[in-house]
A = this chain, B = another copy of it.
């Protein structure tokens, strides 16, 4: 854990180095991924089954790539009632927030007599990648599938690797709760390739979302352009801005909740009281004694954790903006007031009783958020990821008379003769006097 104080002379250097810690990770799997994608494009289902046998130790045929409705129902029924209730509450809240997000179309006729419009339509088909094994989080299924469903996507195709054939009841139950159309027991770069290019069994999709390992991320990067992708997520991170009126243990647990995700995760406390920060650090050490994922959380805190002592909350806001962190908790008397000074953050959690875990599950806003300081230019997953815009211009003779001549002048200046003619020939027919 690093300890920085804004009044120190080397503060700027050390803060810059801390910020650089979150730069994007380079990948070294591009060649094997390229080979896998080429094989899926050339041999389709055959290659898909081969890779699944090899990487997941699972023998499948084109007939069994898809998990049947009966299997899904059988697995989902294993989930206990309390958990099903929690899943359903989460789904309801997430759906409701994303419904509020839906944008409006635009249409107006301007002074020149042109009618201008912008219409939102949903994608036809979306692929949802769900990691296998320990990283298979039902909450991620909800967070990725529900915005697509709310946006109006008709077909949501999910891929989840099932090493040794083991199905994950909670993931299948979550998929069922949010109306996923079809589920395939495949993973890795081969699943991404199958979703992007299609096989005899799996029709291609228009966009692929969802987290995955380095192979999945690189495969998404390589199919980008042919289909859309979501952003490539880096390790998770939180910045917590807290005053000394908070219970230190709560702050410590919130830092650990981030740190337990991944040894590369980053948890940062910004406060104006060094003594308070010290009590938080001690409380964090205590919790590590009993935390189930103490090894991961401890290493994350040791390697990437940081405490930043600031002079005042205005300075805290400035530094938080420079972190542009995925998650920002504001545990102050007036969290809303502080939030107005924040320009760059994936998601904010306001108040002493609003740990980031609220947003991971049951808050409503999406938990798929921009990492590695990309909140400077990127946003969390939303209905906007599953919608696109078509603009329109309608012009009649009068509209063309009003704007056409300027278009002719610009087209000629750019040396595009047919552009100019497509306008001037019509203007001539309407009796244009070029002067």
> Which A residues have a C-beta under 8 Å from some C-beta of B?
23-24, 82-83, 85-87, 89-90, 93, 96-97, 100-101, 103, 106, 108, 110, 112, 114-116, 118, 121, 123-124, 134, 137-139, 170, 206-207, 225-228, 231-232, 247, 249-250, 253-254, 256-257, 259-261, 287, 291-293, 297, 335-336, 339, 342-351, 353-366, 370, 372, 374-380, 382, 384, 388-397, 399-400, 403-407, 409-411, 413-423, 425-426, 429-430
Smallest Cβ-Cβ distance to A208: which chain B residue: B377
24 contacts between A and B (CB under 8 A): A86-B407, A90-B410, A101-B106, A110-B364, A114-B358, A123-B377, A134-B415, A170-B413, A225-B232, A228-B378, A256-B422, A339-B392, A347-B391, A347-B392, A351-B394, A353-B396, A353-B400, A353-B426, A358-B400, A360-B407, A361-B407, A380-B389, A380-B391, A382-B389
Contact among B207, B355, B377, B419 with A228 in the assembled complex (CB-CB below 8 Å): B377
Interface pair B418/A257, CB less than 8 Å apart: yes
Interchain CB contact (< 8 A) of A360 among B342, B351, B365, B419 = B419
- Taken together as a complex, chains A and B put the C-alpha atoms of A427 and B90 apart, in Å, by 18
Docked complex Cα distance between A144 and B314 (Å): 34
**Shortest Cβ distance from A340 into chain B, in angstroms?**
9
Q: CB distance B110 to A96 under 8 Å?
A: yes
Candidates B357, B375, B405, B415; contact of A419 at CB < 8 Å:
B357
Given contacts A358-B403, A407-B360, contact A393 B423 (CB under 8 A): no
A403 touching B93 in the complex, CB below 8 Å, given contacts A23-B226, A365-B116: yes
A377–B227 CB distance below 8 A: yes
Inter-chain contacts of A231 with B (CB < 8 A): 225
Distance to closest chain B CB from A302 (angstroms): 15
B97 touches A116 (CB 8 A): yes
Residues B422 and A257 in contact, CB atoms below 8 Å apart: yes
| A377-B123, A394-B354, A396-B353 as given contacts; A293 in contact with B418, CB under 8 Å | yes
Q: Which residue of chain B lies nearest to A30 when distances are taken between CB atoms in the complex?
A: B30
| B82 and A409 contact, CB distance less than 8 A | yes
Task: Name the distance in Å between A393's Cβ and chain B's nearest Cβ.
Answer: 4
Report whether B89 and A406 are in contact in the complex, using a CB–CB cutoff of 8 Å.
yes
Bound Cα distance from A421 to B85, whole angstroms: 20
| Contact among B138, B247, B254 with A410 in the assembled complex (CB-CB below 8 Å) | B138
Residue of B nearest to A114 (CB): B363
* A365-B116, A422-B356, A429-B247 given; A336·B394 CB < 8 A: yes
Residues of B with C-beta under 8 A to A86: 405-407, 409-410, 413
Q: Is the CB of B390 within 8 A of A206?
A: no
